[in-house]
Structure 1
Amino acid sequence: MSEPNEALRRLLRESGWTLSQCARAVNRVGAEDGTPLRYDASGVHHWLGGTIPRGQVPRFIVEAFSRRLSRTVTCAEAGFEPQSGQPSQQTDIVDELIELGRYDMDPSRRGVLGATLFSVTLTVPDWPNVAGRLVAVESGRAHRIGVREVDAVRAMTEELSRLDDQFGGRHARPMAAAFLVNTVGSHLRADASEPVRKSLFSATADLLYLTGFMAVDEGLHGAAQQYYLKALEYAGAAEDHLTYCTTLRGMSLQAVDLGHAKRAERLADAAAAAAPAAGPRMRAFLAGQQAHSYAATGSKHQALTYIREAEVAMEKAEARAKAFGSYAPSSLAYHVSQVKYALGDKVGAIESLKESDRLRHSHYRRSSVRYNSLLAERQFELGHLEEACSTWERVLDDYPLVSSGSADRKIQHMKSLLRPHLRNPTAAHVYQRAQDQAESA
């Protein structure tokens, strides 16, 4: 007979939850991770009685309590055995990077990395805690690298970013992971002058940020957080404010899209605070995300203040500094739309999304699928079925050319919205077109 789980009972008392509230919170975490759950009060009662929940459910339980209590709760603290199979903690920063990449590049191991959850209690290092810390790396001194090798890392990162923009990250991310393991890891262990090593750390941070961004697109939110944290560490070691702030901003975007608006707000503010001397384009980039985050929490005054700041900064912005992580007028229009929508101006939000589409370069195909899908959803929400179907038709023009988890989820959502309207010939045509594309994939 199982022993009662007194550790879990203590957590439940601390949370103030009823059994039903606890079950619903765990179900929400599972849904966010792509694992539908249907637990109710009786399920929690069984856990308290000593039943160990199946599969990955213990991870969902401790994450639910972590969110409720605003601190990290471990499996052991909840009365469950610690989960095995996760990438181990190493003291060598290169070992950590290689281990993370190996899980992502190997299809047989990728499921382990994908099992990591998005955590709202994750500790994010402040700039003073990472800046200038060029951690000593064991070097076999088998070879020496120079500027040429660093330039190659940056060129590869630009190419992977281009592939992600145009075709989605499903294929590009394992390539990025393999490059991290097989090439960047070797470079990091090579002999180099201090300026070259610092430049390599900066280039590595950029690549880690991009790989995390692609993991978000695929819905691997825990894995994305691990890449983002590594990017912060390497950016700090290189004293690279730009990539450090860009990564924090990416973490804010991830959080707000997952519905963790307060967390997104804090990350967006941290990104802005760490970039006091940012140029106008970077300032627009950061302020736009602050506006989106504050709007999501209902903070109207701050949201409108930051979106205006982003608009003024964009007017002053010069040519972009990078092919990825940069901010264009189409991106600003998207943020304006998000602010309007969160503050109740749904018609204005639609018009701003249309403006974003008009301004977006055709190269950014994955973004077009995502943002035009959002446009159609908002048109549909206002009862404009025919207009929404017209927008979805354009989405379906691009969708077969994109390999992206976020694009797949948008198409599935479109079908669920259209399913009750199949008596409408236009809706039926769009729905069948999506079905045909799925069958031919």
Structure 2
Amino acid sequence: MGLFSVALTIPGWPDVVGRMEVIKTDPQRRIGQSEVQAVLAMTDRPSDLDDEFGGRYARPMAAAFLVNTVAPYLKASASSETRKSMMSAASFLCYLTGWMAVDEGAHGRAQEYYVKSLELAGASGDHMTYCHVLRGMSVQAANLGHGTPAVRLANAAAEASPESSPRMRAFLAGQQAHSYALAGEKTNALNSLREAERAVNQAESQLGTFGGFSSATLAYSTSEVRHALGDVKGSVESLHDHFRLRDSSDKQRSNLIFSSLLAERQLQMGHLEAACSTWGKVPDAYPAIHSGRIDGQVAKIPSLLAPYRSNSVARHLLERSRDVSVN
């Protein structure tokens, strides 16, 4: 699977612009905008499956589509406009495939997809996807506990952003806040969090956009900042806010991830019954999710509850979690 590298060299925007113009084209094959639209439509399918069933389920489909269909399209003859559109579509698909690989637990592989996405974004002039990839790389580093690289990537994403709409500022500032908190930079973390709050307030009346950032997302970011700064109680309060604000149609995978985080932090506070109640939803839904991240969270439940086996509720949940982990 490859190992995550904190020292990965990230190509800057000027370095990737036009980098892939030297690719030789296949004169025997020609593509047009219909192929571009097909790639965009097909990208939505594994993305939806990833949200619902997890990265281990969806990533192989996206990867196969990249190799068998999109890669030959990139080498086909096309007009300049179509060629750029195809590279942009391929860049976004690479980004999503990397995101799925992160959820799968294949972090080195995810970085490979991310770097290829950056190159394709530069080749197509897709500055927006380039920015989103850097932010996604920061999320990966932060979730693995690497604060300093997460800050470097989050700041690079903010500096590369081609627009400054309120929702985009919130999207980037929220990640900067979490990264700063993990790196122990409390002042910068709180300043970035306030920036994200101001931007969300400005964007409340706007429709969601690609990578949209909502009040529910802000509550989650606030929870992560508070937890990284040692405020477990505040983190729990913000996660409750997240669940209160999140859309009822939000996907099962993120629901399980955030529920597991909430339960772990409730237990940290000594609220055993509340933690068991929150965790209680996880074993029933878990078998349908193919996610390395959730595998790890479920695998922790028995050891976290072992000291409380004398409590009947905790003992019952411990046994249920063992059963689903084995199956």
1:290-309 matched pairs, under 5 angstroms: 290-309=176-195
Match for residue 177 of structure 1? Answer: 63
Match for residue 260 of structure 2? Answer: 373
* Distance (Å, rounded) in 1 between the aligned partners of 2:276 and 2:290: 22
Match of 2:220 among 327, 334, 337: 334
Task: Give the C-alpha shift of residue 420 in structure 1.
Answer: 2.1
Deviation string, structure 1 residues 284-304 (Cα, Å, up to 9, x no partner): 111000000011122111111
Task: Give the C-alpha shift of residue 134 in structure 1.
Answer: 4.3
Match for residue 85 of structure 1? Answer: none
CA contact (8 A) 1:166 1:363 kept: no
Match for residue 272 of structure 2? Answer: 385
Task: Give the C-alpha shift of residue 246 in structure 1.
Answer: 0.8
CA contact (8 A) 1:292 1:338 kept: yes
Match of 1:247 among 133, 136, 139: 133
Task: Give the C-alpha shift of residue 254 in structure 1.
Answer: 1.0
Match for residue 227 of structure 1? Answer: 113
Secondary structure, counterpart of 2:281 in structure 1: helix
Match of 2:166 among 277, 280, 289: 280
Give the residue type in structure 1 aligned to 2:271: H
* Distance (Å, rounded) in 2 between the aligned partners of 1:372 and 1:265: 26
TM-score normalised over the length of structure 1: 0.71
Alignment length, in residue pairs?
324
Give the residue type in structure 2 aligned to 1:299: E
Task: Give the C-alpha shift of residue 256 in structure 1.
Answer: 1.5
Task: Give the C-alpha shift of residue 264 in structure 1.
Answer: 0.7
Task: Give the C-alpha shift of residue 174 in structure 1.
Answer: 0.5
Task: Give the C-alpha shift of residue 276 in structure 1.
Answer: 4.8
Match for residue 313 of structure 1? Answer: 199
TM-score normalised over the length of structure 2: 0.95
Give the residue type in structure 2 aligned to 1:155: A
1:38-117 matched pairs, under 5 angstroms: 114=1, 116-117=2-3
Secondary structure, counterpart of 1:386 in structure 2: helix
Is structure 2 residue 306 aligned with structure 1 residue 419?
Answer: yes
Secondary structure, counterpart of 1:135 in structure 2: helix
* Distance (Å, rounded) in 2 between the aligned partners of 1:141 and 1:305: 54
* Distance (Å, rounded) in 1 between the aligned partners of 2:133 and 2:12: 12
Is structure 2 residue 94 aligned with structure 1 residue 208?
Answer: yes
Give the residue type in structure 2 aligned to 1:125: P
Secondary structure, counterpart of 1:121 in structure 2: coil
Is structure 2 residue 304 aligned with structure 1 residue 437?
Answer: no
Task: Give the C-alpha shift of residue 225 in structure 1.
Answer: 0.7
Deviation string, structure 1 residues 40-72 (Cα, Å, up to 9, x no partner): xxxxxxxxxxxxxxxxxxxxxxxxxxxxxxxxx
Match for residue 236 of structure 1? Answer: 122
Give the residue type in structure 2 aligned to 1:164: D
Secondary structure, counterpart of 1:141 in structure 2: strand
Deviation string, structure 1 residues 215-265 (Cα, Å, up to 9, x no partner): 111211111111110011111111111111111111111111212111111
Match for residue 143 of structure 2? Answer: 257
* Distance (Å, rounded) in 2 between the aligned partners of 1:283 and 1:398: 34
> Hey, which of these two has a bigger chunk of helix by percent?
2
* Distance (Å, rounded) in 1 between the aligned partners of 2:217 and 2:76: 39
CA contact (8 A) 2:299 2:325 kept: no
CA contact (8 A) 2:56 2:104 kept: yes
* Distance (Å, rounded) in 2 between the aligned partners of 1:207 and 1:164: 13
* Distance (Å, rounded) in 2 between the aligned partners of 1:222 and 1:118: 5
Secondary structure, counterpart of 1:119 in structure 2: coil
* Distance (Å, rounded) in 2 between the aligned partners of 1:293 and 1:438: 31
Secondary structure, counterpart of 1:142 in structure 2: strand
Give the residue type in structure 2 aligned to 1:418: L
Larger C-alpha radius of gyration, 1 or 2?
1
Match for residue 96 of structure 1? Answer: none
Task: Give the C-alpha shift of residue 188 in structure 1.
Answer: 0.8
Match for residue 355 of structure 1? Answer: 241
Match of 2:292 among 400, 405, 408: 405
* Distance (Å, rounded) in 2 between the aligned partners of 1:283 and 1:156: 29
CA contact (8 A) 1:161 1:210 kept: yes
Secondary structure, counterpart of 2:290 in structure 1: coil
Q: Which stretch shifts more, 338-347 or 378-387?
A: 338-347
Match for residue 118 of structure 1? Answer: 4
Task: Give the C-alpha shift of residue 278 in structure 1.
Answer: 2.9
CA contact (8 A) 2:142 2:182 kept: yes
* Distance (Å, rounded) in 2 between the aligned partners of 1:149 and 1:278: 32
Task: Give the C-alpha shift of residue 147 in structure 1.
Answer: 1.3
Match of 2:41 among 129, 152, 155: 155
* Distance (Å, rounded) in 1 between the aligned partners of 2:239 and 2:67: 39
CA contact (8 A) 2:55 2:102 kept: no
**Which blocks of at least 5 consecutive residues in structure 1 are unaligned?**
1-113
Give the residue type in structure 2 aligned to 1:320: G
CA contact (8 A) 2:127 2:162 kept: no
CA RMSD of aligned residues (A): 1.4
